[in-house]
Amino acid sequence: MIVVSDTSVITALIHVGRHALLQDLYEIVLIPEAVHQELNRSHPVLPGFLEVRAAADRAKVAQLTTDLDLGEAEAIVLALESKADLLLIDEKLGRLAALHEGLAITGLMGVLVAAKRKNYIPSMRELVGRIETEAGFRVSEAVKREAFRAVGE
Protein backbone atom coordinates (compact mmCIF):
# COMPACT_ATOMS: atom_id res chain seq x y z
CA MET A 1 0.00 0.00 0.00
CA ILE A 2 1.36 3.41 -0.97
CA VAL A 3 0.53 6.12 1.57
CA VAL A 4 1.48 9.81 1.35
CA SER A 5 1.04 12.21 4.23
CA ASP A 6 0.77 15.91 4.90
CA THR A 7 2.16 17.26 8.17
CA SER A 8 -0.80 17.28 10.57
CA VAL A 9 -1.35 13.55 11.16
CA ILE A 10 2.35 12.86 11.68
CA THR A 11 3.04 15.80 13.97
CA ALA A 12 -0.05 15.14 16.13
CA LEU A 13 1.00 11.53 16.66
CA ILE A 14 4.64 12.47 17.34
CA HIS A 15 3.49 14.93 20.04
CA VAL A 16 1.78 12.12 21.95
CA GLY A 17 4.42 9.47 21.25
CA ARG A 18 2.13 7.34 19.08
CA HIS A 19 3.70 7.92 15.64
CA ALA A 20 4.49 4.18 15.40
CA LEU A 21 0.78 3.66 14.67
CA LEU A 22 1.51 4.90 11.15
CA GLN A 23 4.21 2.28 10.70
CA ASP A 24 1.94 -0.40 12.19
CA LEU A 25 -0.82 0.50 9.74
CA TYR A 26 1.12 1.40 6.59
CA GLU A 27 4.78 0.30 7.05
CA ILE A 28 6.21 3.20 4.99
CA VAL A 29 4.73 6.68 4.67
CA LEU A 30 5.92 8.94 1.86
CA ILE A 31 6.26 12.65 2.56
CA PRO A 32 7.24 15.44 0.17
CA GLU A 33 10.16 17.75 0.88
CA ALA A 34 7.98 20.62 2.15
CA VAL A 35 6.35 18.33 4.73
CA HIS A 36 9.79 17.07 5.76
CA GLN A 37 10.91 20.67 6.33
CA GLU A 38 7.72 21.51 8.28
CA LEU A 39 8.18 18.46 10.50
CA ASN A 40 11.86 19.21 11.10
CA ARG A 41 10.98 22.63 12.54
CA SER A 42 9.26 20.98 15.50
CA HIS A 43 10.76 17.50 15.48
CA PRO A 44 14.51 17.37 14.77
CA VAL A 45 14.51 13.55 14.77
CA LEU A 46 11.87 11.96 12.56
CA PRO A 47 10.68 8.35 12.53
CA GLY A 48 12.60 6.07 10.18
CA PHE A 49 9.48 4.82 8.40
CA LEU A 50 9.00 8.25 6.78
CA GLU A 51 10.43 8.33 3.27
CA VAL A 52 11.06 11.74 1.70
CA ARG A 53 10.33 12.04 -2.01
CA ALA A 54 10.22 15.09 -4.23
CA ALA A 55 7.02 16.13 -5.95
CA ALA A 56 8.24 16.46 -9.53
CA ASP A 57 5.43 18.43 -11.20
CA ARG A 58 6.33 21.91 -9.94
CA ALA A 59 3.73 23.53 -12.20
CA LYS A 60 0.98 21.50 -10.53
CA VAL A 61 2.42 22.34 -7.10
CA ALA A 62 2.41 26.05 -8.01
CA GLN A 63 -1.19 25.80 -9.24
CA LEU A 64 -2.31 24.18 -5.96
CA THR A 65 -0.46 26.70 -3.78
CA THR A 66 -2.86 29.42 -4.89
CA ASP A 67 -5.28 27.88 -2.35
CA LEU A 68 -3.13 25.55 -0.23
CA ASP A 69 0.11 25.70 1.70
CA LEU A 70 3.22 24.20 0.10
CA GLY A 71 3.14 21.00 2.18
CA GLU A 72 -0.44 20.23 1.23
CA ALA A 73 0.20 21.02 -2.43
CA GLU A 74 3.32 18.84 -2.59
CA ALA A 75 1.57 16.00 -0.73
CA ILE A 76 -1.27 16.01 -3.25
CA VAL A 77 1.12 16.06 -6.22
CA LEU A 78 3.30 13.34 -4.70
CA ALA A 79 0.18 11.21 -4.08
CA LEU A 80 -0.82 11.65 -7.72
CA GLU A 81 2.68 10.91 -9.04
CA SER A 82 3.20 7.85 -6.83
CA LYS A 83 -0.32 6.55 -7.53
CA ALA A 84 -0.90 6.47 -3.78
CA ASP A 85 -3.62 4.30 -2.35
CA LEU A 86 -4.21 6.86 0.40
CA LEU A 87 -3.37 10.47 1.26
CA LEU A 88 -3.35 11.48 4.93
CA ILE A 89 -4.57 15.08 5.09
CA ASP A 90 -6.76 16.99 7.54
CA GLU A 91 -7.14 20.58 6.37
CA LYS A 92 -10.51 21.19 4.72
CA LEU A 93 -9.27 22.95 1.57
CA GLY A 94 -6.53 20.35 1.11
CA ARG A 95 -9.04 17.52 1.46
CA LEU A 96 -11.35 19.13 -1.10
CA ALA A 97 -8.47 19.64 -3.55
CA ALA A 98 -7.31 16.03 -3.08
CA LEU A 99 -10.82 14.70 -3.66
CA HIS A 100 -11.10 16.90 -6.76
CA GLU A 101 -7.92 15.19 -8.04
CA GLY A 102 -9.51 11.78 -7.45
CA LEU A 103 -7.38 10.80 -4.47
CA ALA A 104 -8.53 8.57 -1.62
CA ILE A 105 -8.07 10.47 1.63
CA THR A 106 -8.29 10.09 5.36
CA GLY A 107 -7.23 12.24 8.26
CA LEU A 108 -6.07 11.75 11.81
CA MET A 109 -9.46 10.49 12.96
CA GLY A 110 -9.55 7.95 10.13
CA VAL A 111 -6.08 6.74 11.11
CA LEU A 112 -7.20 6.36 14.72
CA VAL A 113 -10.34 4.48 13.67
CA ALA A 114 -8.17 2.07 11.65
CA ALA A 115 -5.76 1.68 14.58
CA LYS A 116 -8.59 0.96 17.01
CA ARG A 117 -10.16 -1.59 14.65
CA LYS A 118 -6.82 -3.42 14.49
CA ASN A 119 -6.51 -3.27 18.29
CA TYR A 120 -3.36 -1.10 18.12
CA ILE A 121 -4.91 1.27 20.66
CA PRO A 122 -7.09 0.38 23.66
CA SER A 123 -9.14 3.59 23.69
CA MET A 124 -9.62 5.97 20.82
CA ARG A 125 -11.46 8.41 23.07
CA GLU A 126 -8.49 8.61 25.46
CA LEU A 127 -5.97 9.09 22.65
CA VAL A 128 -8.05 11.82 20.99
CA GLY A 129 -8.21 13.61 24.34
CA ARG A 130 -4.42 13.47 24.65
CA ILE A 131 -3.94 14.68 21.08
CA GLU A 132 -6.23 17.63 21.71
CA THR A 133 -4.54 18.50 25.00
CA GLU A 134 -0.89 17.76 24.22
CA ALA A 135 -0.72 18.45 20.49
CA GLY A 136 -3.33 21.23 20.29
CA PHE A 137 -5.12 19.36 17.51
CA ARG A 138 -8.78 20.30 17.24
CA VAL A 139 -11.53 18.02 15.99
CA SER A 140 -15.18 18.99 15.69
CA GLU A 141 -17.60 17.32 18.07
CA ALA A 142 -19.54 15.90 15.12
CA VAL A 143 -16.44 14.25 13.64
CA LYS A 144 -15.41 12.84 17.03
CA ARG A 145 -18.91 11.52 17.69
CA GLU A 146 -18.97 9.74 14.30
CA ALA A 147 -15.47 8.28 14.80
CA PHE A 148 -16.25 7.05 18.32
CA ARG A 149 -19.49 5.51 17.07
CA ALA A 150 -17.58 3.75 14.28
CA VAL A 151 -15.39 1.96 16.84
CA GLY A 152 -18.06 1.42 19.48
CA GLU A 153 -16.80 3.94 22.04
Taking the C-alpha atoms of residue 64 and residue 94, their distance in angstroms, rounded to an integer, is 9
CATH architecture of 1-153: 3-Layer(aba) Sandwich (3.40)
**Amino acid 20: pLDDT:** 97
Domain ranges of the chain: 1-153
State the distance between the two ends of the chain, measured CA to CA, in whole angstroms. Answer: 28
Q: Which residues contact 128 (CB under 8 A, 6 or more apart)?
A: 109, 112, 139, 144, 147
- For the chain, how many residues are written? 153
pTM reported for the whole predicted model? 0.95
Cα dihedral value 107, 88, 95, 124, nearest 10: 0
* pLDDT score at 64: 97
Q: In this predicted structure, what is the pLDDT of residue 33? A: 98
pLDDT for 40-99, tens place per residue? 999 989 999 999 999 999 999 999 999 999 999 999 999 999 999 999 999 999 999 999
* pLDDT of 24: 97
pLDDT digits (tens, 9 = 90+) for 113-143: 999 999 999 999 999 999 999 999 998 999 9
Q: How far is CA 103 from CA 1, 50, 67, 79, in A?
A: 14, 20, 17, 8
